[in-house]
């Protein structure tokens, strides 16, 4: 396991230590969990681009009624 040295503000270290104690984990475990959660989050730029692609795709489509699409899908499965 790699060891790293980081500089953090004292108040943040105190908060980390309180939270680690509350969870009964080490400071390192708490920081590792936080880092993993941050790295696993979707990239906001990628999410924005996916939304933009979807919006562009539907701009050229005629208006539709969502309930009718659901009904048609349900009936096609019967």
Only one residue has tokens 């390192």, namely: 28
Which tens digits make up the pLDDT trace of 13-42? 999 999 999 999 999 999 999 999 999 999
Establish if 67 belongs to a structural domain: yes
pLDDT tens digits, one per residue of 57-73? 888 777 778 888 889 88
Q: Which residues contact 33 (CB under 8 A, 6 or more apart)?
A: 25
Tell me, yes or no, whether 46 lies in a domain. Answer: yes
Which pLDDT score is estimated for 59? Answer: 83
The pLDDT value given to residue 64: 78
Confidence tier at 77 by pLDDT (50, 70, 90) = confident
How many Cα atoms are found within 13 Å in the side-chain-facing hemisphere of 20?
16
Domain count for the chain, please give it: 1
Residue 60 structural domain: 10-78
Residue 3 within any structural domain of the chain: no
The angle that helices 10-23 and 27-40 make with each other, rounded to 10 degrees, is: 100
Cα 47 from Cα 53, distance rounded (Å): 10
């Amino acid at each position: 396991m790699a060891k790293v040295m980081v500089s953090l503000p004292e108040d943040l270290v105190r908060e980390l230590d309180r939270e680690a104690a509350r969870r009964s984990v080490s400071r390192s475990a708490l920081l590792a969990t936080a880092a993993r959660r941050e790295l696993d989050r979707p990239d906001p730029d990628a999410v924005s681009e996916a939304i933009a692609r979807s919006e562009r795709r539907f701009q050229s489509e005629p208006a539709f009624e969502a309930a009718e699409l659901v009904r048609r899908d349900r009936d096609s499965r019967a």
